[in-house]
Structure 1
Amino acid sequence: MAARFRMSDLGALSYYLGIKVKQGKEALLLGQSTYASKLLEWSGMAECKPCLTPMEERLKLTKASTMAKVDATLYRSIIGDLCYLVHMRPDIAFVVGYISRFIEDHWAAVKRLLRYVTVDQVIVFPKTSGSGMRLTVFSDVDMAGDIDGQWSTSGVLVFLGSAPI
């Protein structure tokens, strides 16, 4: 006997895989503020003071760190959670990639990034046609900036928006 499945209308999508969805007349907004809040609670940083940048300027990390090591499992778990957060927060992609190169040496850099994550951000997709959307792309490279292996780092930043940058 074949199984029967019923489909039901659950209404407009509002939350999916940790991504909050707000559908308005003018725009669609996507964000992960709930996921970020849970990450901050789990890491013990829920009451931290926010910062405006995800990483210290000109920060150079090395594998030969003299900092006290933290629990490697905790460090890696938080890095994994931050990797998932990158889907809606491309502003933290570089820092997450950079600190994920190290096992457990740079807890201060991770905590700095978690303090930055407290700043709630969303991605906005306008629904109106002819909105004058503009694509702007920037690229940069750090030639041989890695202290340990003299590797170069490159990055690309893409903006899609209606206002000129």
Structure 2
Amino acid sequence: MTDIVRLLLIVILLLSAVSAYFLVLNALFVTRVTWTRAIAQSMPARSFGIGFVNFVFFAVIALVLLSLAENAGAVVKGILTIPAVLIVAFLSIVLSFGLAGMSAFVGERIFPGLPAWKQLLWGTVCLALACSLPFVGWFLLLPYVGFVGFGAVILAFVQKENKA
């Protein structure tokens, strides 16, 4: 019984942390998250394709650099590890913006009458709980949402530059 209470407390704290993170991300970068949400809403298939290709490409580069650095000398290890860490940081940042946009999109669809911050909050909670569903959430929904969000962020950068 203690394990169930501990697990429930961990889930509640993680949901609170992720929701707060996406709220702050939306508050600080309103236009970026709004553009990401709009592009994910208007072009989900294109966003998925671009997100999948770019995420896999950069992840493979980071993994190759890290695996080469594992067997290298001290100086070469530093030279190979720094770009790999920068690529992983880039992937994490873009994925954060993408997931914030997708949470806003889900919240807007499910709760259309609420204010924007409540839509984002409840969209994050719904998306996080849905992605925690074993197998379907882990291997289908989470990659789909992540790749669509990732591609939407990339398309938002490209389209924003074209309009400016």
TM-score, normalised to structure 1, is 0.26
Higher strand share: 1
Higher helix share: 2
TM-score, normalised to structure 2, is 0.26
Which of 1 and 2 has greater Rg?
Answer: 1
